[in-house]
Structure 1
C-alpha cells in the first residue's frame, strides 16, 4: 500500500472531511505527540486507598483545542487495578463547578456505593470530596464512568482490572487493556439537541430519492423493497445515531492516525481486555490475520470460543487471547456498527511497526427481521410482502392490539414489532455474511456452573420503545421522567426478564448491582453478564437472581438514549416488603 493510499484510508477511517473535524487523540504528558507508532501504558492505581481528581483538562489535537473532563489529568482515566478479597477506599475529589459521580460498572457492592445520583446516593457536589468504600468480591475486566448528566461523553471514564484471589484459570503471558471510546468536539448537549430536532441529523448515509430508485454498490434490497421503506418513512441505513462524520473513534485515547501500539513477542499468549467505554458507539472487533479466543465477557470467564470477529455493545467488555507467531505487526480494528469509521491500533513485536489497515466495508442496511418481522412467513413474496404488510395504510405500526396494556403506545412509539424472534444466535447488524466466524451470544458457555439452579418463578416482559425521528426513547412507552414505577423484586427472587425491542436500533441494556444469565440454551452454564445487546426487532431473555437489596439503575447504555428516558429503577426488597 502506498503512503498516499494509506493516508486516504486513515482519513476516511477517522472521518475527516466535510464537517472539518480533525482526528482526535488525547495525549497526556506521559504519551506525548501524535506521531504514528505511539506506544504507551495506561497509568495504574493500586492499593487500599486510591485517589482520583476530577477536573477539566485542556488539550490540543490535530491543531484544534478542546476541553475534556478527566481523572488525574488523563483520558481515559487511570487503570484501577484491584485484587479479589481486598477492601478498597476510593477518594474522589470533584474540582468541577457541577455535581459529578463515579459508577463502578459491573462491580458487586452495596447499593449506596453504586454511584448513581438520585438513586443510590446524593452525588458528589461541586468542589467537594467523597469516599467510596467496599469489599472487592469478584475478578475480571470492568470499567468506571460518570453517571451525572452527559459527562461520560466528555472523557469521564476509565478501566478496572481485578486480579483473582487465587490462580487465574485463563493462561496468558502478557496483557493489554484496550479502552474503546468515541470523541467529539461538539458539546454533548448540542449532540442531544440536534438529534431532538432531527433524529437522523448525524446520519450521512441516508437513503436518497435516487438511491431509493437506483440502489447503489453492495445494495441487497430490490427497488420495490426500497420504495416500501421510503413509504414507511424509515431509513434502512439508520443504524447509529452518531457517525464518524462527528465522532473520532479512540483506542486508549488515541485516534486512528496516532496508532496506539501494544507489544508482544512472537509465540506469546496475549490477553486483550477490551472495554467499550464509548457513549454511543457499537463496534465490530477483528484483527486481520489473527484468530481470537474469547475467554471472558463482562468480567466473567467463559469456555474459550475461537472467532474472527465479534460485536461489542456499549458498556460490554470482552477478554480475548491471541497468539501471534509471526515477527510482524497486526492491525486491531474497531469498526463502528454503521461502518462510517473505525478505531485502529497495532499489535507489534517492536515500536514503530505498522500493518495494512483494511478499508471500511460496505455499509450494512437493515432488514425486515430488524423491523420485528423475523417470525413472519412472507411466503413467495419475501421481505417485500412483509414491507407491504407494514404499510401505514394497511396495518398501523402503532397497532395497540399487538402489545400488552402495560405498553403506552403514543407519540413516543413509532413502531411495533409484529413478530419479534430470539436473536441471541445472530452475530449483530451487518455481520451475517462476512465470510468468517463471528461470535454470537449462543456461543458463550460459562466456565463454571451457574450459582443458582432454580427455574424462574415468574416472567417479566419489558418492551424497548422509541420514536427514532423525534429521538424519544423509553421502556414500555414510558420515559423515566413520566414518573414510572420501579420494577420490583423480592430479595433472592428468581425471575426471567424478556426484553422485546420494537425499535430498529441495537440497545445495550445494563442492570446495576447484579449479574444475570443470558438465556441461550446452555442450561446450567448460561453466560453471566451485566449488559446485553438486544438486536433490532428482536428479543432476548435473561434469568436473574435478585440477591442485592437496594435501588438499582436499569437502562440503555447508549448515553443519549438513557438521557432521553430509556431508564428505570429496579428495587430489591426482603420478603414481606420490609426495608433493605
Structure 2
C-alpha cells in the first residue's frame, strides 16, 4: 500500500517527524472488513441501564472500560417527545456512579450530579430517574461521578418529535465521537498535575524553525518568557488517546450504509473527555440542520468543529455509489477518529493525512489584533522605551511586552482575585464567534462558525435582559489549576444566584490560552450573535482562547444546577460552580 493513497501505517507514537511536526500519517489497514453494526438501542416507558466494568475491542486490541448493558458507548436511548421516561440504573460497580442527561430539561432532582442535585447512586445499588420528555432532538448522557466518563460511561439520546420533523431524511446514523486511553484516567490527571504539557509530543523544534514551519525566533523568545508553549493547544493528545467512532478505532473501519441519492441524517455527538474534533467528509457537503438538539436554518459547510459535549445534526446526499471517509480530526492534529459512508460493508475511501498542527497566536492570548503586532521586529528606539516584545529594550521590566500587558490588566478586571488560578488575564479579549475555530482559518473551504447558526423558529423568550453578568475563565497551566473568576469549586463560598424567570445577559471571558466548552445544566441560552429573536439556542458553547462569548439566559428552572467546563480534567481540577435559581425576590446577586 503506497503513501499516495493515504493509507500508510501509523504507530501510536509514530506521528512525529524529524522536525517535531506531524508526519504524513495515513492510517493502518483495517483490521476488519468493516463494522456496520449500529449501537444497541433501548426504548419504551421503562428502561433498565446496568453499569459495570467490561472489556472492549479497539482496533483489534482488548481495552478496559465501564459500559452500560455490555456496551461502550452505552446504548442509544430512543424516546418520544411527550412521554414520561423511567430509567432505572443498576450500579454494579464497587463505587458510586451517576447519569446526567446532557441537554435534557428535567427537574433538578433528576439531573444526576452528585452533591448538587442528588446524592449519587451508591455501589451495588439501584436508582430510578423519572421525568417528562418535553423536547425533541439529539442529546447524550454520561456519568458525573469522578472520571468514569473517560472510561466509557457515555451514550447518545435521540428524542423523536411529537409532530412532523422539520428535517426531511431517508436514513439516519448516530455517530458518537470519543477518546479512549489504556492509561487510567487518574494516572492521566496525575501526569497533568505534575506537568501540564506532559502529553504534548508536538513541541516546536529548531528544525521546524529553520524550515519555516514554526514561529520566528523572536516569537519563540516571547513565548518562552511567558513560560508557555504555543503548540500546547490540547492537554491530552493522541500520544495516549485512540479516537473512536461508536466505540471503534480508526482501523476498525466503522461503516454507515446508504443508498445512492438518499438524504442521510448524521446525528453527531462529541462524548469525548478532552478532545475537540474537526469534522469533514471529503467529497460531500455537510448541511447543518440542528445544533445541541435545537433546529436551525440549514447551512451548508465543508467542515465544522464540534466541541466536547456539543451535538450537530447534518444532512449529506451522496450521489455516487462509492465510499466516503468521515474524518474527525483531533483539534491538535495528533490523531483522528475515522468512519466510512458506503453502499455496502467492506468498502473504504482514502483517508487524508493529518494536517499541520495549529500554533497559538497572540490573539489567542487575548491580545486582540493590535497586540499581535507586538511579535514583529522592533526598532531600537522603541525597544529602549519598552514598546516591544523582546530584545534588550524590554523596558527594564524583565518580561515581554504582551506579558506585561496581561499583568497590568488586573486593573481592568478588579473582580478577579489574585490567586494561583489566575496565571494570565486577557488584555483585549474579543468576540470570536464569527471566526473559524483555532487551526481552521486556512482550511481552504467553508468552515462553520457560530454566527452561521440561526434558530429555525422564534426564540421562546425575547425580553431584553434586566442585568448583565461577566464571568472569567481562568487557569494556571503550570500547576494545572482551572477555575471561574479565579476560584476553584472547592473554594467557592456561595453559588451564582438567579431569580426565577429573570432574563440575564452573560459574557464569558476566556483569560486562558485554551478553548473551554462551557455547559450550563437545566437550561438553554441564546447566543448573542446578531440574529435577534432567532438567536441559536445552545446548552454548551466553546469559548475560544483569548475570546468572549455572550448569551442571554432565562432562569426558568428552579433548583441547583452545575455550571462547568466540559473538558473533564478541567472540571475535575476546579473549573465548575453551582448556579442556583430561586423564587425569592429578595435574594442578592453576585454579578
**Any residues of structure 2 matched to 1:83-122 within 5 Å, and which?**
83-122=80-119
Distance 1:228 1:391, change over 3 A: farther
Q: Secondary structure at the match of 1:399?
A: helix
Residues 193 and 56 of structure 1: CA distance in aligned 2, closer, same or farther (over 3 Å): same
Matched with 1:352 is 346
Taking the TM superposition and a 5 Å limit, the aligned residue runs for 1:463-502 are 463-502=472-511
- Output the CA distance in 1 between the equivalents of 2:3 and 2:495: 57
The 5-angstrom pairing of residues 319-358 of structure 1 reads 319-358=313-352
Offset at residue 231 of structure 1 (A): 2.2
* 1:300 corresponding residue in structure 2: 294
Aligned residues: 561
- Asked if structure 1 preserves the Cα contact closer than 8 Å seen for 2:177 and 2:268, the reply is yes
Alignment of 1:166-181 (within 5 A): 166-181=163-178
Q: Per the alignment, do residues 421 and 258 of structure 1 end up closer, same or farther by CA in structure 2, a change over 3 Å counting?
A: same
* Matched-pair contact (CA < 8 Å) for 2:7–2:350: no
CA 1:375–1:310 in structure 2 vs 1: closer, same or farther (change >3 Å)?
A: same
Distance 1:333 1:425 in 2: 23
Residue 236 of structure 1: aligned partner = 230
Note the C-alpha offset of 1:36. 3.8
The alignment status of 1:149 with 2:146, answered yes or no, reads yes
For 1:391 and 1:536, the matched residues in 2 are separated by 25
**How far does residue 10 in structure 1 lie from its aligned partner after superposition?**
5.0
Q: 1:367-398 deviations in whole A, cap 9, x for unaligned?
A: 11101011535669759877558973652633
Is 1:315 equivalent to 2:309 in the alignment? yes
Other-structure match for 1:22 = none
Paired with 1:557 and 1:40, the residues of 2 have a C-alpha distance of: 29
Deviations 1:33-90 (A, max 9, x none): 9514111111111111001000011245456543211100101000000000000100
Write out the 4+ residue segments of structure 1 that deviate beyond 6 Å after TM superposition. Answer: 12-17, 383-386
* Alignment-derived partner of residue 182 in structure 1: 179
Match for residue 246 of structure 2?
A: 252
Equivalent in 55, 59, 62 of residue 58 of structure 1: 55
- 1:330 & 1:386 partners in 2: Cα distance? 50
Give the deviation of 1:409 after TM superposition.
2.5
Task: Provide TM-score, normalisation by structure 2.
Answer: 0.91
Contact between 1:115 and 1:147, CA under 8 Å: does it hold in 2?
yes
Aligned to 2:27: none
How far has the Cα of 1:258 moved from its partner? 0.3
Q: CA deviation at 1:408?
A: 1.5
TM-score between the two structures when normalised by the length of structure 1 = 0.92
**What's 1:531 paired with?**
540
1:266–1:383 CA distance, 2 compared to 1 (3 A)? farther
- Taking a change above 3 Å as real, the CA distance of residues 61 and 528 of structure 1, as seen in their structure-2 partners, is closer
Q: Where does the alignment leave 5 or more consecutive residues of structure 2 unmatched?
A: 18-29, 379-386
2:57 and 2:159 map into 1 onto residues whose CA distance is 33
Match of 1:436 in 2: 445
Q: 1:189-268 counterparts in 2 under 5 A?
A: 189-208=186-205, 210=206, 214-216=209-211, 218-219=213-214, 221-268=215-262
Could you give the per-residue CA deviations for residues 513-561 of structure 1, whole angstroms, max 9, x where no partner exists?
Answer: 0000011111111100000000000101110000000000000000000
The correspondence for 2:74, drawn from 63, 73, 77, is 77
Question: Is 1:576 aligned to residue 585 of structure 2?
Answer: yes
Say if 1:13 and 1:256, in contact at 8 Å, map to a contact too.
no
> CA separation in 2, counterparts of 1:383 and 1:279?
40
Check if 1:462 corresponds to 2:448: no
Q: Deviations over 1:448-497 (max 9, x none)?
A: 01111101111100000001121110000110011332111000110011
- Aligned residues of 1:14 and 1:341 also touching (Cα < 8 A): no
Corresponding residue of 1:2: 2
Q: CA deviation at 1:2?
A: 3.0
Q: 1:302 to 1:387 in 2, by over 3 A?
A: farther
Separation (CA, whole Å) in 1 of partners of 2:14 and 2:218 = 35
Contact persistence 1:297–1:316 (CA under 8 A): yes
Contact between 1:402 and 1:416, CA under 8 Å: does it hold in 2?
no
- CA RMSD in angstroms comes to 2.3
| In 2: Cα distance, 1:152 partner to 1:41 partner | 21
Q: Partner of 1:423 in structure 2?
A: 432
Q: C-alpha offsets along residues 234-258 of structure 1, whole Å, 9 cap, x if unaligned?
A: 1110010011010000000000000
8 Å CA contact 1:497, 1:541 repeated in 2: yes
Matches within 5 A, 1:379-418: 382=376, 387-388=389-390, 392=399, 394=401, 395=404, 397-399=406-408, 401-418=410-427
- For residues 274 and 377 of structure 2, the distance between their equivalents in structure 1, rounded to whole angstroms, comes to 30
Q: CA deviation at 1:298?
A: 0.3
8 Å CA contact 1:546–1:572 kept in 2: the answer is: yes
Q: Give the distance between the partners of 1:480 and 1:181, measured in 2 at CA.
A: 26
1:10 touches 1:256 (CA, 8 Å); kept in 2?
Answer: no
| Segment drifting more, 401-410 vs 176-185 | 401-410
Measured after TM superposition, the shift of residue 5 of structure 1 is 6.4
Structure 1 unmatched ranges of 5 or more = 18-32
Question: Who is 1:163 aligned against?
Answer: 160
Relative to structure 1, is the Cα distance of residues 279 and 379 closer, same or farther in structure 2, using a 3 angstrom cutoff? Answer: closer
**CA–CA separation in structure 2 for the residues paired with 1:462 and 1:345:** 38
Matched residue SS, 1:398: helix
Q: SS state of the match for residue 194, structure 1?
A: helix
Which one of 495, 510, 524 corresponds to residue 515 of structure 1? 524
Give 1:228 shift. Answer: 1.5
User: Structure 1 441/275 Cα, relative in aligned 2: closer, same or farther at 3 Å?
Assistant: same
